Structures are given as structure tokens and as C-alpha cells.
Chain A
């Protein structure tokens, strides 16, 4: 058993020489460490924070922003063991096949492999996120006792399903740090090192491989790690920041010979109350707006998603819509409902209305990026600057999907829809974010288009890999955790082979 070490208490200038150094103790870092536990390799898990929230460590996440208003950089992530799983919502859904494809009309879209490449890892990932039996879109057949699916005419939108992370005792969701702390301690070849802030990824003189990592603590201690292999798993903002700031050998930063590091930052915008859903009979199954727990323990919720054919035909990005709260209709809305239902020959005397929430995928944008700011943090590292963008096309594409949902409701004579926003300022006024940081070290077989290759290895650096959402080139509307864990397990298999 390896107890947790604290970088603050190790002798100054200690040099650690693990086989594998993992930078970051979030879901990717912890999943990777656990997956490597049986490899016989000595794994050093470098967590920048402690076992619980500490304000001083969290402050190291501060940064500046430009462009569209976005969550404060120290507000959307957490710097202690477990990382952002300490405040995630537990939403899980595998990426769809189309999310991996290069799509006409969506420049920079697509992964260097198909979904089939990570499918073998979904079962173990599902187990790690504790989302119960694998059901997802098979739920259509499991929930008939709990209500009916929304009646939709043929078309581009359908009911799809999310599952939820649920740790033992039914607590939602799984916090990786708390949940896997003892597993990390029990694993003989894993050494978790807390309060270990990596401030530099130091390359060899010829930039061919990582020579060592600089570790600094807030108390002023300094350590060196000389790993055979390194995996950067610190989240999309920190991954980019560390690569960019490690610029002593490569002037533009590690892996940034083609100026791609930090670009294509992405998230799921979740503007509120994007539409009003009216159901003429007033009935919506509870699993659209609340958790449904099946007898086998799986926790599900239904959402409305665009079909692959619709995405392709209209060149729109992924999205989901959620049924939220029942709302009252104003006189114009009542007139719209009565007129439409009357024309359709439907009784709408019991109609009810519900607000719709959403999650949108943004089209890849190289200008949406993390760079190094002017300010430095308490450890001397440049703070990140995030330039956030969202285009009118991003909004109009999602609006197109909502209108399709409305068309299908009318075709089924089951309801209708009101689109809340048509102007950019209205969308932005309602804006919130999923805080799913993605894309800054995107994956591509072409070094000019991506930071890592299909194996998650940084182009041009022999022993440096990246894990986590920062490698996602496109990402649909599925929440990233389940998928990044699956991708990390694939990386573990790869590392076991190359490190043997």
C-alpha cells in the first residue's frame, strides 16, 4: 500500500524517477493510475491540490478572459483530488458515432478514428463513473411502466437517454477523489503526491522527449520528477497553459510547433429557457424532467436529441433539449395554442406548457483559445487567458433543431413549440455554460491540425501523452466524463504496451 505523499513535506530538491508521471488527479488521471495499477510500472500521480478544497490552491486557477462572457476560470473547475468530478452533475452518455466523423459543412470536425475504437472501453468506464448497467437508448423498452415517450412525427429529433453517476448509497454523483482514494492507496505501484504543482515540462535539448518535470509547492518546496513517460491530465485549460508555458526549448511551447496548442477550446453552452414546449393533452412522462431509477439501479433521464441524419443533412452541430419546469402561458401563447389545436382538430383544453433547457455543441473555432496572459500566479507561472467565442451559426443551428422538434410535434398533433430567442443578444443574456473544458490539445493524425496523434501522444515528443477532454476535436452533446474515462482506459492499454 502506498500512502499519499505531500510534496510540501518531501526534502527540498528531491528527485523522483517513476516509470510514469501523471499530471492531474481528476477523472482522467485517477482512471489512468488505476488502469496502470496492474502493469508493474511505478506510477506517480501528481495532484496539484490536496484531498479537499483549499482556497490557496484554487486561486492558482485564476486567469483572464476576453470575448463572450464565460465562467471565471477559477469557478468552473476545482483544484483538489478528483478535480472537476467534485462538482459535476453526473450526466453520462457515450458520444455518438457521428461525433467522431468528419462532417461536411463543419470545418475541423472529426476524430482520427471511429467510435468503434473506444467502444471496448465503455463498459469499464461506465463502471468507474458508477452509472449502473449500460442502458442508454435501450431505455425506450425499459420505461413503459413510468410513462410514454413524447409523440413525435417522423423527423430529425428523437428521445435519447442519459444515465447518471451514482456512488454507493445512491448519492449522486461519484466524486473520483473521495471514491477512489483508498484504491489508489491500496495499489502497490501507485504513489499519489498531493500539493504537487507542475510548473514546467522540461524537454531534452533536441525537444524529442520530456527530460523532467519541475514541481513547486505553495510553501516554496521544489522537487524534480524524471519520468520515463508523462501523461498530462490536468484539464483543457491547465494542459494548454502548461504546454505553452514550458517554452525554454520550444519557443512556442511544448508540442506547439504548429500553433495549435490552446486553440479550439470548447464547452457546452446551456442557455436557459430556450423554448416553450406545449403538450395538448398536458401529459409528459416524469422521466423527461426528473431522474427515473430503474429496479436494476440505473438512473436515467430522457432528453430530445437530433438524429445523425438530421445533423448531416443540415450541417448542424449536436445538441440536446431537456424538459424543465411547467410554466404559465401568456394571452398570446394561449391564442397560439387554441388556434393551432383548433386547426388540427385537437382538444387543447388540458394543455400544459414546459420550459426547455439545452446543451449545445459549438462548431470548432481555432480563435476560441487559451493563451498565456500577462499576470503570473503565486508560483510564477503565467496565468491563462481564455478568448471565448460563439457564433450566430452556433445559435441558428440549434434553433433549427428546435424548430424541427416543433414540426414533429405538430405532425403528431401532440403539441407545439415556441422558440424563445432569435437575436444574438437574447441568446447571450440567457447564457450559462456546462464548464466542460475541451479541445485545447485536440487529436489529429496531422500535426498541423492537432496537438496529439491518434494514440494521444503529443506530436514530435516521444514520451509525452495527453488524457482528458482536451484531446476531443468534436464532442456532440454528450457530457465528457464517461467518454474521457473510456479514452483514458484506451490510453492505458497503449502505455502498457509501449512501456513494457
Chain B
């Protein structure tokens, strides 16, 4: 095996490992300051659009603390709720958008957090 190939292989391994670590710890992602609601907010796939959408919910939504308490009381995750709610007619309208109720609540929480 030639020395050049070994070095190239090692370099690739290091780069892959570094990428994995960066991905794991969100080195290149958006950072948010910690909030008391991170257990809920971390369930949102991408908080940026959720914040934008949540702002449209406006004043019709409860404040963050009440929202969080309501969501925790339910116990189910966002993805579970969002998948089930349309079938259960648990639907909200936010700025004209028809969405699962939980999507509106989580987005509002993201906007307020």
C-alpha cells in the first residue's frame, strides 16, 4: 500500500468523523438559547419556519407557559398528534391555513419562546 493512499484514507476518515460530530451537535445549525420549553420545541423539525408561522397565530393563542402546560398535559409528541388530529377533526386555522391543532400550538410556542 502506498503511503499517499494511506494518508488520503486517513484524511477521509477524519473528515467523515468531523462531519458526524458536527451533525450530531448541530455545529452548523441554528442555535437557540435554552428555554423552559425545549422538551417541546425540540420536537419541531425546523424551528425557523415554525416561528414565522407561529407569529401569524397572533394573539388568539394562549401565552407560552399555558401553551406548554397544555401540550405537556396531552403527553403525545408533535408527530403523533399531527398525524392523528386530522382524522379526529382536531383542526385549527392559522391565517387561513388549515393545519392540525398541534401544529398551530407548537408553532405559536416557537414564536413566543
Q: Which A positions have Cβ atoms within 8 angstroms of B?
A: 153-154, 331-336, 338-340, 342-345, 403, 406-408, 410-411, 413, 416-420, 422
A410 partner, pick from B44, B46, B78, B91, beta carbons under 8 A:
B91
Whether A331 lies near B52 (C-beta < 8 A) is: yes
Whether B49 lies near A335 (C-beta < 8 A) is: yes
Contacts of B99 in A (CB 8 A): 336, 339-340, 410, 416
Cα A50 to Cα B17 in complex, Å, equals 85
Contacts of B53 in A (CB 8 A): 332, 335-336, 339
Does B34 make an interface contact (CB < 8 A)?
no
Cα A413 to Cα B84 in complex, Å, equals 11
Cα A345 to Cα B77 in complex, Å, equals 12
A403 to chain B, nearest CB (A): 5
Q: Assuming A335-B49, A339-B53, is B95 touching A410 (CB within 8 A)?
A: no
Does B97 make an interface contact (CB < 8 A)?
yes
B82 partner, pick from A334, A343, A407, A417, beta carbons under 8 A:
A343
CB contact list, B38-97 vs A, under 8 A: 44-46, 48-54, 56, 78-79, 82-83, 85-87, 89, 91, 93-97
Q: Which B positions have Cβ atoms within 8 angstroms of A?
A: 44-46, 48-54, 56, 78-79, 82-83, 85-87, 89, 91, 93-100, 102-103, 106-107
Whether A419 lies near B103 (C-beta < 8 A) is: no
Whether A335 lies near B52 (C-beta < 8 A) is: yes
Q: Assuming A153-B86, A411-B86, A413-B83, is B97 touching A343 (CB within 8 A)?
A: no
Whether B103 lies near A422 (C-beta < 8 A) is: no
Contacts of B107 in A (CB 8 A): 339
Contacts of A417 in B (CB 8 A): 97-98
Cα A499 to Cα B20 in complex, Å, equals 90
Whether A407 lies near B91 (C-beta < 8 A) is: yes
Whether A332 lies near B44 (C-beta < 8 A) is: no
Contacts of B78 in A (CB 8 A): 343
Whether B86 lies near A418 (C-beta < 8 A) is: no
Whether A418 lies near B49 (C-beta < 8 A) is: no
Can you list 18 residue pairs at the A/B interface with Cβ under 8 Å? A153-B87, A332-B56, A334-B49, A335-B48, A335-B51, A339-B50, A339-B99, A342-B45, A342-B46, A342-B49, A344-B79, A407-B89, A407-B98, A410-B91, A410-B98, A411-B86, A413-B83, A418-B97
B46 to chain A, nearest CB (A): 6
B82 to chain A, nearest CB (A): 4
Contacts of A410 in B (CB 8 A): 85-86, 91, 98-100
Contacts of A342 in B (CB 8 A): 44-46, 49-50
Cα A197 to Cα B51 in complex, Å, equals 67
Cα A471 to Cα B32 in complex, Å, equals 66
Contacts of A416 in B (CB 8 A): 97-99
Whether B98 lies near A419 (C-beta < 8 A) is: yes
Whether B96 lies near A407 (C-beta < 8 A) is: no
Contacts of A334 in B (CB 8 A): 49
In the complex, which residue of chain B has the Cβ closest to the Cβ of A336? B97
Contacts of A406 in B (CB 8 A): 91, 98
Whether B44 lies near A339 (C-beta < 8 A) is: yes
Whether A332 lies near B52 (C-beta < 8 A) is: yes
Cα A468 to Cα B98 in complex, Å, equals 40
Contacts of A336 in B (CB 8 A): 49, 53, 56, 94-95, 97, 99
Whether A345 lies near B83 (C-beta < 8 A) is: yes
Contacts of B106 in A (CB 8 A): 343
Whether B86 lies near A408 (C-beta < 8 A) is: yes
Contacts of B51 in A (CB 8 A): 335
